Amino acid sequence: MVKIAPSILAADFGNLGRDVGALADWGADWLHFDVMDGHFVPNLSFGPPICSAIRPQTKLPIDVHLMVEEPSRFVPWFLKAGADIITIHVEAEKHLHRGLQQIREGGCKAGVVLNPGTPVVAAKEVLPYCDLVLIMSVNPGYGGQKFIPESLEKIAELRRMIDERGLATDIEVDGGINPETAKLCLDAGATVLVAGSAVFQANDPKDMIRQLRCGR
Ligand code: DX5
Ligand code: ZN
């Protein structure tokens, strides 16, 4: 089953409660929450208080993508703020193994994130501790960027690695997802697609989410 995770980075922040509340009606599966610290990535976004504030506005799982230096520092904050899934970048965390266990012990699903320049093998040793691996298909920091086509080979390689070990790890893809790139990612073995601008700039977000599933 394909899961669609709209990124609220592309929502109308002046009407955030309204947009968050609409996601379930539009057929979304998860809410993707992009946290940026101005260090690991150039941009700033939002943090735990906004996560707590939107928690009562939706029943969808909140998928927190930590684009911050030393992300495990913030794990306790997001566990408390109502996150369901927390992912940490391999490039930003010295103690990946410990960070992932901390997330699972807190009752959330855990995952690692790979930047476009990071090889898939960087996730290999921690794969048994991951419920998902997130492949960045743009350089993190901004919404609305163009999909990097080389990401497809990384998705396929990760799919082989997961299947060879008989694991059920989800493969999430983030950045530049539209109905065309969605199909390519799903064909390569992805199971979760993040989409910011495609969903929030669509005239009919419900129909866009349906299209992103590519009939699966
Ligand atoms: C990028 C973020 C993405 C972003 C995706 O740094 O991690 O989640 O919101 O936006 P689109 O779908 O517009 O590429
Ligand atoms: Zn993201």
Which of the ligands is closest to the CA of residue 36? 1
* Phi, psi of 58, rounded to the nearest 5 degrees: -150, 150
pLDDT for residue 69: 98
Mutate to test the pocket of ligand 1, among 34, 113, 172, 211 (most ligand atoms within 8 A of CB): 34
> pLDDT tens digits for 73-93?
999 999 999 999 999 999 999
Catalytic residue annotation: 34, 174
Q: Is 177 in the pocket of ligand 1 (CB under 6 A)?
A: yes
* Low-confidence residues of the chain: pLDDT under 70: none
pLDDT for residue 116: 98
Buried b (16+ CB within 10 A) or exposed e, 153-191: ebbbbbbebbeeeeeebbbbbbbbbbeebbbbbbebbbb
Which of the ligands is closest to the CA of residue 208? 1
Give pTM, 2 decimals. Answer: 0.98
Q: Is 63 in the pocket of ligand 1 (CB under 6 A)?
A: no
> How far is the centre of ligand 1, averaged over its atoms, from the C-alpha of 32 (Å)?
9
Q: Is 116 in the pocket of ligand 1 (CB under 6 A)?
A: no
Nearest-angstrom CA–CA distance, 106 and 30: 19
